[in-house]
Amino acid sequence: MVDEPGKLTLISASNDNDPGAEARVEAMVMEIARILGRQIARDVFRSGQAANDNTSSQETGED
């Protein structure tokens, strides 16, 4: 079967006999995403970057 460029084709394993495997994989992916998000937040916090700086340049004296 030839796929069209840019078209996503879902493939399932023919030997997928474990009905709980998908739920476990999804839980693991979410855990990894949460860990990465925390690490990114730590890195941004340590760098001193403000995530939402609403002060104007006139208030801070910066250009």
Reported pTM: 0.47
- Asked whether residue 31 is assigned to any structural domain, the reply reads yes
- Asked whether residue 27 is assigned to any structural domain, the reply reads yes
What is the b/e burial string over 42-59, where b = at least 16 CB atoms within 10 angstroms of the residue's CB? eeeeeeeeeeeeeeeeee
- Is 46 within 8 Å of 40 (Cβ atoms)? no
- Asked whether residue 63 is assigned to any structural domain, the reply reads no
Calculate the average pLDDT of the chain: 76
- pLDDT at 28 (0 to 100): 93
Looking at residue 45, its amino acid is F
- Asked whether residue 43 is assigned to any structural domain, the reply reads yes
- pLDDT at 49 (0 to 100): 64
Least confident of 11-15, 33-37, 51-55, 57-61: 57-61
- Asked whether residue 17 is assigned to any structural domain, the reply reads no
35: domain range? 23-47
For 26-39, the pLDDT digits (tens) are: 999 999 999 999 99
> Which residues, including other chains, have CB under 8 Å from residue 57's CB and lie 6 or more apart?
63
- pLDDT at 13 (0 to 100): 65
Task: Give the count of domains, the chain.
Answer: 1
